[in-house]
């Protein structure tokens, strides 16, 4: 199963040299297995790794020539798959086409900030055009897409990239949203001009008419490794909003929130059908978790998840440390891309490239969400009253864990 609609670079032994971030010259684990296993073994490996949708392997979908041409001209990976649902008698299919964009920065971080931002926007525009040409209804960009992920440095000058909700990047995307009749989720560094000009990590939801539907601010801020983000912004104050768009109900679980199951749960309780996880994360820290957490969230909450991660290694002018015992260094590590979709029936797409820019597209029948709720009954069998009681007690200063101790635990044998 290979849905690449653009021209892929040579893989494995055919590659002239292993690209930085590749897996032995391959763009992804899926492509490594496809190139090195027999068709029969690859089919079985794919079943185990990617699951089945309605009892079948995911089907690749063909994209317009204009989309493939843009991918070839601008050297980005493009893949497309379809998630089906069972036929129903009382509801028509609710098929929506959704896209994810991952990208590297364009010019060195030593360049003028205005030039960096302009270069990123110029890089991303052909990818948005490719999504628009392909008829994508909802598109999500990566976390803090307008800038390098400079929050490792603790240098406050990077706050200059922050902008109001209706700032330059939003205006840029509003035109494209209107042109392509597309909802666009734009994660930015927000400058809250009405509240002391403080900074937030924010996703702006732009409607298909070019209007701003609303915003969501990142709920969970990491304090691990080089992720020194609390130097710049704190936990968000927007709750867990779900945005009812022309194409479906969407939520945005920004980056580190994917490590918190209750964060995923809250978007589900508010009725989300698709939850996006725009991220910026590096291989050494989180890659083993990457294919697991979002997929588990899709399963347990009966919605679709779109996972986006930036790509490349961003080198900063001044070396830094993060109090973790490592010597000073000037980069975060490799952002491994690997953006993908997960479905409520436990199926998922292969991942985009670990080192190239990419556009992942999926047709998804939102009827699958309710079908899986009916099949597994997770909402019906959950014990929310019990969980609420425990959490209420846990928040009290005198909370005591419910631990039953063996009265003979210290008795000699």
DSSP of 230-279: GGT----SS-S--EEETTEEEEE--GGGGG-HHHHHHHHHTT-SEEEEEE
Number of structural domains in the chain: 1
pLDDT confidence of residue 413: 78
> Looking at the domain assignment, is residue 81 inside a domain?
yes
- Residue reference for tokens 């980069």: 331
Tokens at 276, concatenated? 């996006």
Q: Which range (9-23, 100-114, 127-141, 388-402) has the least confidence? A: 9-23
> Looking at the domain assignment, is residue 22 inside a domain?
no
Residue 18 pLDDT greater than 90, yes or no: no
Residue 32 pLDDT greater than 90, yes or no: yes
pLDDT confidence of residue 16: 45
Residues designated as active site: 143, 218, 255
pLDDT confidence of residue 212: 98
Tokens at 302, concatenated? 């009966």
**In angstroms, rounded to a whole number, what is the distance separating the alpha carbons of residues 28 and 214?**
35
- From residue 127, alpha-carbon distances to 74, 78, 96, 141 in Å are 8, 9, 19, 10
Distance between first and last Cα of the chain: 59
**In angstroms, rounded to a whole number, what is the distance separating the alpha carbons of residues 28 and 356?**
10
Strand locations in 41-141 (E): 59-60, 77-83, 95-102, 138-140
> Looking at the domain assignment, is residue 224 inside a domain?
yes
Question: How confident is the model over 64-85, as a mean pLDDT?
Answer: 98
Residue 257: which domain range?
A: 54-376
Check if the beta carbon of residue 132 is closer than 8 Å to that of residue 179.
yes
pLDDT confidence of residue 31: 95
Backbone angles phi, psi at 287, to 5 degrees: -60, -35
Tokens at 413, concatenated? 């044998």
Domain CATH code at residue 243? 3.60.110.10
**pLDDT tens profile 310-321:** 999 999 999 999
> Looking at the domain assignment, is residue 343 inside a domain?
yes
pLDDT confidence of residue 155: 96
> Looking at the domain assignment, is residue 394 inside a domain?
no
> Looking at the domain assignment, is residue 396 inside a domain?
no
> Looking at the domain assignment, is residue 35 inside a domain?
no
Radius of gyration, CA atoms only, the chain = 22
Question: Looking at the chain, how many residues does it have?
Answer: 413
**E strand or H helix at 365, and its extent?**
strand 358-365
> Looking at the domain assignment, is residue 384 inside a domain?
no
**In angstroms, rounded to a whole number, what is the distance separating the alpha carbons of residues 77 and 80?**
10
Check if the beta carbon of residue 190 is closer than 8 Å to that of residue 165.
yes
Residue 14 pLDDT greater than 80, yes or no: no
pLDDT confidence of residue 110: 97
């Amino acid at each position: 199963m290979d849905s690449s609609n653009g021209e892929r670079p040579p893989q494995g032994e055919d590659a002239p040299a292993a690209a930085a971030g590749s897996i032995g010259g391959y763009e992804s684990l899926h492509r490594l297995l496809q190139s090195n296993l027999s068709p029969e073994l690859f089919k079985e490996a794919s079943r185990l790794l990617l699951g089945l949708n309605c009892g079948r392997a995911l089907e690749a979908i063909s994209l317009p020539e204009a989309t493939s041409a843009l991918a070839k001209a601008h050297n980005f990976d493009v893949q497309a798959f379809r998630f089906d649902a069972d036929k129903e008698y009382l509801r028509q299919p609710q098929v929506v086409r959704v896209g994810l964009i991952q990208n590297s920065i364009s010019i060195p971080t030593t360049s003028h900030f205005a030039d960096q931002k302009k270069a990123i926007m110029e890089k991303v525009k052909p990818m948005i055009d490719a999504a628009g040409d392909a008829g994508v209804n909802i598109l999500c960009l990566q976390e803090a897409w307008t800038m390098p992920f400079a929050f490792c440095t603790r240098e406050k000058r990077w706050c200059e990239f922050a902008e109001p909700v209706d700032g330059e990047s939003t205006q840029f995307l509003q035109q494209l949203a209107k042109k392509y009749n597309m909802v666009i989720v734009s994660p930015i560094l927000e400058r809250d001009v009405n509240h002391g000009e403080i900074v937030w990590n924010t996703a702006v939801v732009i409607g298909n008419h070019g209007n701003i539907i609303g915003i969501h601010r990142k709920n969970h801020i990491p304090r691990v490794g080089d992720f020194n983000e609390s130097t710049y912004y704190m936990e968000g104050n927007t709750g867990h909003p779900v945005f009812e768009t022309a194409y479906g109900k969407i939520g945005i679980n920004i980056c580190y929130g994917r490590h918190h199951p209750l964060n995923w749960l809250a978007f589900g309780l508010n009725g989300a059908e698709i939850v996006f996880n725009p991220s910026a994360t590096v291989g050494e820290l989180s890659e083993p978790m990457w294919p697991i957490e979002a997929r588990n969230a899709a399963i347990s909450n009966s919605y679709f998840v779109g996972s986006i991660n930036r790509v490349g290694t961003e080198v900063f002018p001044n070396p830094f440390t993060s109090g973790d015992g490592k010597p000073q260094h000037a980069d975060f590590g490799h952002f491994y891309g690997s953006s993908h979709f997960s479905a409520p029936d436990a199926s998922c797409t292969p991942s985009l490239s670990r080192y190239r820019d990419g556009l992942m597209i999926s047709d998804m029948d939102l009827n699958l969400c309710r079908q899986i709720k009916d099949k597994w009954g997770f909402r019906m069998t959950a014990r929310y009253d019990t969980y609420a009681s425990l959490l209420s007690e846990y928040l009290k200063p005198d909370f005591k864990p419910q631990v039953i101790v063996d009265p003979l635990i210290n008795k000699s044998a």
